[in-house]
Amino acid sequence: MLEDPAPSAEAQRIVPDGRPELIFNLGRPFESAAGGQWKRQPQSFVAGQITGPLLLRADGPAKILGIRFHPHGAGRVLGVPLDELTDSVVALDAISADLHRRMQRTGELSEGGNGHSADCLATFATLMAEMAQGRGYDDDPQISAAVSAFENTAGAAEVAEVAGQVGLSSRQLQRRFRRAVGISPKLFSRMQRFQRVFQAMETRAVETQALQWVDRAIECGYYDQAHLIRDFREFSGKAPTALLAGEIDLARHFSRPARR
């Protein structure tokens, strides 16, 4: 949940993390930059995998529910191949009119009950589970295992090695992974490595010496500082020091309920 009655109009940045999202606005939707112009986002929408930075800015009081799927989990709820949504923002009613209506109804009920964050999140979580079960789609155990392998090694595992571990050829893994996750296994692995360094650097923002950046990059699997900077520019649009000196990924402003 993200709630702010008077948010800054300064542009905020979303960087790729390998996970699609479903966004439901209970307040005024944000605006996103596309083709040099700012355009208001739909009230509720699905954001597929992004492969580069996404710039957003508030356009009034914000109250947002963000549902972040597991990398291979959105298809169970949405019933569409994820590679059709990559680098796209699609209004939810264009994908599932039923889910759109149910989310609107749930949002109205939550608002009627004063919109307590924990209750609201629990209600939407139940709705997601019901939609997944109603679709009748089961997890692909081989793709699930491949996703875990790439995540657990922060992108260090080789695609061919993981394919062998899960009992697929590299070509089969490429095809099924792209359909279920929305991007290739190699790109997903790069995102996991980038996220590991990004998070480490964010928590150590006081460390500004170049040697410390290089050390962190090598620990996470980068060859050198130049290799790290290339990925940072591709995924965030900025060099590491420039990014952390300015705006931080908007996704990190969301509050999350405690795990039980």
- Three-class DSSP category at 222: coil
Q: Which runs of consecutive H residues, i.e. helices, occur in the chain? A: 74-78, 92-95, 97-112, 117-135, 141-152, 159-166, 170-181, 185-203, 210-219, 225-236, 240-245
Residues lower than pLDDT 50 in the chain: 113, 206-207, 209-211, 258-260
> What local confidence, expressed as pLDDT, does residue 110 receive?
59
Amino acid at 93: D
> What local confidence, expressed as pLDDT, does residue 239 receive?
78
> What local confidence, expressed as pLDDT, does residue 227 receive?
85
> What local confidence, expressed as pLDDT, does residue 13 receive?
87
- pTM confidence score: 0.84
> What local confidence, expressed as pLDDT, does residue 260 receive?
43
> What local confidence, expressed as pLDDT, does residue 119 receive?
74
Domains and CATH numbers, the chain: 2-137 (2.60.120)
- Three-class DSSP category at 238: coil
